[in-house]
Structure 1
């Protein structure tokens, strides 16, 4: 069965570092046997279809191919269309009434136990807030991510050891749902 996926690459094309041109990423995904390959923005979002039903295997294959082609390691998460829709539908914040820069989804490589985030005093960061979902953290930053103190606390070294995380603003979350809808 063919499934639509989004590949979320972490930390590429930032200030000219770890450059992965989107045309090259599309070509690479096609060479891996994926179909209907498209990219969105320059920040490492690609959608494709595949007969493979193993997100981890798809991510690992893409990571190996990127390292071979570009000579550096890039963490990749691959998520299916149904999961992406679920993330958008289960947002604990009023996404439809917020600007895209005020709401973010941080996708995780694995489910994070809420107890690992218990050290964060949510009240100290109000009106900023976060909620935990299925392999995702929703982050509400009314003044934007660049001014968020809560985002810094959530990104503290050692808070989530061994977990790969990559964030997208809500506009991108919605666009990836749309692009994987077919």
Structure 2
């Protein structure tokens, strides 16, 4: 049986004491769902695993349902395979190697988002902060980090495109998820 390595990105868990999902319980849940080589990274809802299922949407839907049944609240989940995570890291339009991890972020989208969706934002107003749209991803260069970012604040106020789920990770996490999914037997 052929398996693939994946990362599951849970949106908005363990933030300020809300939607608590202990990582040990998330690992157990993924194992109960039949996945192998399960691991987690940090407390912010990053899990890695292998699966014979070759459908990211199906994997995400199953995990969303299992989280709701186990913890009693809904959580949006994005699942991405190693090849996609690697491509996102490799095609970063900013000089990632010369930046601190807190200065660069990726917002992953469940569906493609077009530049017209972000057209209402006057990007020049936020310089030196910048963003670039990628394949189901938005790259953010935030020299002072996300906590003080006016650009990130403005982007958060733009309503999501219909049915699109978004979740962000800093560059350190982006790189670590590539590494962790590569290390999983496939």
Contact 1:125 1:149 in 2 (8 A): yes
* Equivalence map 1:11-30=2 (5 Å): 11-30=12-31
Matched residue, 1:104: 105
For residues 169 and 176 of structure 1, the distance between their equivalents in structure 2, rounded to whole angstroms, comes to 11
Matched residue, 1:58: 59
Q: Could you give the per-residue CA deviations for residues 18-68 of structure 1, whole angstroms, max 9, x where no partner exists? A: 100000000000000000000000000000000011000000000000000
Question: Counterpart of 2:153 in 1: which secondary structure?
Answer: helix
1:9 Cα offset (Å): 0.2
Matched residue, 1:179: 180
Matched residue, 1:44: 45
Contact 1:117 1:159 in 2 (8 A): no
For residues 126 and 72 of structure 2, the distance between their equivalents in structure 1, rounded to whole angstroms, comes to 40
Length-normalised TM-score, structure 2:
0.96
Unaligned stretches of 5+ residues in structure 1: none
Matched residue, 2:156: 155
For residues 134 and 71 of structure 1, the distance between their equivalents in structure 2, rounded to whole angstroms, comes to 33
CA RMSD of aligned residues (A): 0.8
Question: Counterpart of 1:145 in 2: which secondary structure?
Answer: coil
For residues 159 and 31 of structure 1, the distance between their equivalents in structure 2, rounded to whole angstroms, comes to 32
More displaced 10-residue stretch of structure 1: 53-62 or 150-159: 150-159
Question: Counterpart of 2:157 in 1: which secondary structure?
Answer: coil
Length-normalised TM-score, structure 1:
0.98
Q: Could you give the per-residue CA deviations for residues 135-168 of structure 1, whole angstroms, max 9, x where no partner exists? A: 0000000000000000011111425343110000
Matched residue, 1:7: 8
Q: Give aligned pairs, total.
A: 182
More displaced 10-residue stretch of structure 1: 10-19 or 36-45: 10-19
* Equivalence map 1:111-122=2 (5 Å): 111-122=112-123
For residues 162 and 4 of structure 1, the distance between their equivalents in structure 2, rounded to whole angstroms, comes to 26
